[in-house]
Structure 1
Amino acid sequence: MHTLVVGLSHQTAPVELREKFSFDPDRIAIPLRSLRDMKSMLECVIVSTCNRTELYIVADQLHTGEYYAKAFLESWFRVSREEFVPHLYVKTNKDAVEHLFRVVCGLESLVIGETQILGQVKHAFQMALQAGTTGTLFNHLFKQAISLGKKAHTETEIGQNAVSVSYAAVELGKKLFTSFAKKTVLLVGAGKMSELTAKHFQSVGVKDVLVVNRTFSKAEELAKVFHGTAYPWGSLPQALLAADVVVSSTGAKNYVITHEMIQTVVSERKKPLFFIDIAVPRDIDPSVNELDNAFLYNMDDLEEIVAANIGLRQQEAERVGAWIAEEQTLFQEWLDTLGVVPVISALRTKALQIQADAMMKIERKLPDLTEQQRRVINKQTKSIVNQMMHDPIMRMKELASTEEKEVALQLFKHLFALELDNEQTDEVQGKVRPMGQPLMN
């Protein structure tokens, strides 16, 4: 069996191409079954987000699996291979497992450490379970990956520090205000950065949003986005009086918020006013920061915070990377033991049959045994069998992770005269299913 991932992501393909390969995560059963029914496919999971589309596959032949994965993408989305194959990445076996672990931990995301991808992978796996396209290998691998992702996000701070300018502004605001529930944000200018910053403030509890812009119609348009209030440009001082947080980005060549203007405002308000100047050139006179109850931060301040936080996330990413290496080893050890499972099962079956035959002979030769005596003898003979099997089984499991696995396996079967039919072996490896039928979980 081979594990592979075939995909497109923000790292390899532009959005114009990625959007052509988007699945509806809630309506993915049909494409899952279509992929699984192609030649060489044994198990599959499809992960589809705004930043990535990935086919996770267990195939009986590596190159055939890769070929038909590409054929599936080509036929399902009706996009020629020439258009998407140069942007496609294919990772196999150990590299595929490592990739999945990195994805769920947020190490492959556009923003390192983001948590949304963990829920998206978990949902993708659940959809594949319901569609019947997973089996022994992926049931184990994806559960292990999801557990690792949870650990990465709960036991480290990889996702705790702001790594965007707009969100860094919110983090600064938290140092000034214990709660944003009753705070008002004023947008000076109707730019995209102002809008994005306001959205972040809204996500932490801000209810009221005011907008001032030189073109009043644009102020009204943006105010509608937040169910807020638009002010004409001449009413800027009045809007400042009503605000707690001011986000300014006008594109003006001179200061639009002056020291004198804010001196008047703070003297009337008598409570803190938090300014975020994300304009270049700056919108707000830097001397505003000298006033009592006025706190001003510009782009340099925010970018300094972002750079520091990216460094912190990268440190945490290195810690998570060590965990990923450990989990890879654990998964490989589990995978290596799959081949010996039917052999161990056959040995146990044979040994217990020998014990059962011996009990029948004992009962024939000693017909006067009481029920208690039979139970004692049965228990003790089974104990002897289990003790005799213990060391050979443990040695076989250890050898399963070595290069001599196949030779050791054949020798083990020969020494204990074990006969395995093909169905026993294939069932454990997840290969028993008619084409088009789901794997047994």
Structure 2
Amino acid sequence: MSLLAVGLSHRTTPVALLERVTVSGDALVKLLHDVRQDENVAEALVVSTCNRVEVYAAVDRFHGGVTAVTNLLAVHSGLPTGQLADHLYVHYQERAVQHLFSVACGLDSMVVGEGQILGQIRSALRLAQDEGTAGTILNELAQHALRVGKRAHAETGIDQAGASLVGVGLTLAERVIGPIAGRRALVVGAGSMSSLAAATLSRAGVTDIVIANRTFERAVRLAGIVGGRAVESAAVQAELARADLVISCVGAGHRSITVEMVETAMRGRHDALFLLDLALPHDVDPGVRALPEVTLVDLESMQRSGLGSDDPSEAVTDGGRGRAIGDVRRIIAEEAAAYLDAERASVVTPTVIALRSMAAGVVEAEIGRLMSRLPELDGRVRDEVTQTVRRVVDKLLHEPTVRIKKLAASPGGDQYAEALRELFDLDPAAPEAVSRMEADQ
């Protein structure tokens, strides 16, 4: 079984097209199951965020897996396969591991070093677990990626290598409306990105934060955390007229804020309105840009501004930030090597268990035969003979099993396991091997 990653992100895809591919809710669950049900795929996990859609799969065949995932992404997005394929990247085995670790560390984010991606990977893993599409391979990979991301943030200065998307958006807002401390802000949505936005606004000194959400209870909960007010979604129109700054993070597939809503809100106003749309699909109708005194910044305009550089180091001018990125890359290389070594070594484990199980069977059979021929032996002698024979066999097997595990950790190590199976006519799937393994655990 091999690891495959197929995806597209803000680095390879225009935001307008990425918006059509992004999936969430029931559509995400369906994509997850459709991938898993393909004959080439044994396990599946999908990471879908505002700036990436990536499918990780354990596959039997590389080309069959790539074709299956590409076709399913095309079907779910409604895009021609050829148009979608032009923007896809494909990683296999070592490259797939390294890529997911880079994503978890924030090196592949629109804003380098942002930590929200860890929560998004954790959510993707939890969904795959709940839906039964992630097995041993993807569970271990994703858990390791989360540990790598945490280590990168704990041991390096990557957190300071780039602000969050919200922070960048607020910096742009201040260029338009001036200092945001003491201003009024409207946050549309109450999910993870909205929570981050509300918390950032609160820390920045925004005195009046209004949370609008379809599920009013969630709006109340978030408003209570940041000391704001909660309103129903129907109140967005009225709150637009009072807000200086609007952040929308719904991504429900329809426009939460239309041109007509903003046009109505601006009647009688003489001050500027700044809208930050962090959702995919977009929440705010791009047509609001044509309205006087209205500024809209979304992921696409952030991408055009240079935040989506193909190389994260290009956006870093400070030496300390450059060192942080270098440190994270070294951590990724180290952790990827450790993960791959462990995975290669695990391939030989069933063979080693089968070998020891066979040897134990031979020992027990011969001891039984000996005891039947020498029934006069007392119990102490019987035990001593039994222990001696077992020790001899264990010592004979010790060095070969240690060596095979070390060799298996090297590239092509599975060939040593195959040779061992052939020499001893082993069946790693034999019931006695499985039962012995479970007894030892």
* TM tier, smaller: 0.5 to 0.7
Which amino acid in structure 2 is aligned with residue 155 of structure 1? E
Which amino acid in structure 2 is aligned with residue 84 of structure 1? L
Pair 375,26 (structure 1): closer, same or farther in 2 beyond 3 Å: farther
Which residue in 2 is equivalent to 1:418?
425
d(CA) in 2 for partners of 1:318, 1:140: 26
Q: Is residue 2:344 matched to residue 1:336? A: yes
Superposed counterparts of 1:54-69, under 5 Å: 54-69=54-69
d(CA) in 1 for partners of 2:402, 2:25: 43
TM-superposition CA deviations, 1:324-344 (whole Å, max 9, x none): 111221222223224422321
Which residue in 2 is equivalent to 1:222?
243
Shift of 1:154: 1.8
Q: Is residue 2:311 matched to residue 1:315? A: no
Shift of 1:406: 5.7
d(CA) in 1 for partners of 2:28, 2:168: 37
C-alpha contact 2:183 2:207 (8 A) present in aligned 1: no
Shift of 1:118: 0.8
TM-superposition CA deviations, 1:160-204 (whole Å, max 9, x none): 466479859999xxxxxxxxxxxx93359x9xxxxxxx9676332
The size of the alignment, in residue pairs, is 327
d(CA) in 1 for partners of 2:273, 2:36: 54
- What is the aligned counterpart of 1:355 among 355, 363, 384? 363
Shift of 1:362: 4.0
Which amino acid in structure 1 is aligned with residue 242 of structure 2? E
d(CA) in 1 for partners of 2:405, 2:340: 13
TM-superposition CA deviations, 1:85-109 (whole Å, max 9, x none): 2111111221111100100011100
Pair 250,364 (structure 1): closer, same or farther in 2 beyond 3 Å: closer
C-alpha contact 2:18 2:51 (8 A) present in aligned 1: yes
Shift of 1:126: 1.8
d(CA) in 2 for partners of 1:383, 1:120: 51
Pair 315,9 (structure 1): closer, same or farther in 2 beyond 3 Å: same
Which residue in 2 is equivalent to 1:93?
93
Shift of 1:120: 0.7
d(CA) in 2 for partners of 1:225, 1:354: 75
Q: Is residue 2:189 matched to residue 1:185? A: no
Q: Is residue 2:91 matched to residue 1:83? A: no
Secondary structure of 1:11's match? coil
Unaligned stretches of 5+ in structure 2? 172-179, 187-196, 210-237, 248-267, 275-314, 435-441
Shift of 1:372: 5.9
C-alpha contact 1:26 1:127 (8 A) present in aligned 2: no
Pair 138,404 (structure 1): closer, same or farther in 2 beyond 3 Å: closer
Which of 1 and 2 has greater Rg? 1
Pair 101,233 (structure 1): closer, same or farther in 2 beyond 3 Å: closer
The TM-score normalised by the length of structure 2 is: 0.63
C-alpha contact 1:25 1:48 (8 A) present in aligned 2: no
Superposed counterparts of 1:35-54, under 5 Å: 35-54=35-54
Shift of 1:81: 1.5
Give the share of equivalent positions with the same residue, in percent. Answer: 30
TM-superposition CA deviations, 1:278-306 (whole Å, max 9, x none): xxxxxxxxxxxxxxxxxxxxxxxxxxxxx
Superposed counterparts of 1:115-194, under 5 Å: 115-160=115-160, 163=163, 167=167, 185-187=181-183
C-alpha contact 2:111 2:162 (8 A) present in aligned 1: no
Pair 359,30 (structure 1): closer, same or farther in 2 beyond 3 Å: farther
Q: Is residue 2:415 matched to residue 1:400? A: no
Which residue in 1 is equivalent to 2:294?
none
Pair 360,35 (structure 1): closer, same or farther in 2 beyond 3 Å: same
Pair 370,139 (structure 1): closer, same or farther in 2 beyond 3 Å: farther
Pair 25,319 (structure 1): closer, same or farther in 2 beyond 3 Å: farther
Pair 343,165 (structure 1): closer, same or farther in 2 beyond 3 Å: closer
Q: Is residue 2:211 matched to residue 1:204? A: no
Which amino acid in structure 2 is aligned with residue 391 of structure 1? E
Which amino acid in structure 2 is aligned with residue 186 of structure 1? G
C-alpha contact 2:10 2:51 (8 A) present in aligned 1: yes
* Aligned Cα root-mean-square deviation (Å): 4.0
d(CA) in 2 for partners of 1:90, 1:165: 26
d(CA) in 1 for partners of 2:379, 2:30: 58
Shift of 1:3: 1.6
Which residue in 2 is equivalent to 1:389?
397
Which residue in 2 is equivalent to 1:11?
11
Secondary structure of 1:87's match? coil
The TM-score normalised by the length of structure 1 is: 0.63
TM-superposition CA deviations, 1:258-281 (whole Å, max 9, x none): xxxxxxxxxxxxxxxxxxxxxxxx
C-alpha contact 2:240 2:246 (8 A) present in aligned 1: no
C-alpha contact 2:244 2:273 (8 A) present in aligned 1: no
Shift of 1:207: 6.0
C-alpha contact 2:114 2:162 (8 A) present in aligned 1: no
Secondary structure of 2:50's match? coil
C-alpha contact 2:352 2:401 (8 A) present in aligned 1: yes
d(CA) in 2 for partners of 1:225, 1:80: 35
TM-superposition CA deviations, 1:49-93 (whole Å, max 9, x none): 011100011111111111111111122232221332211111122
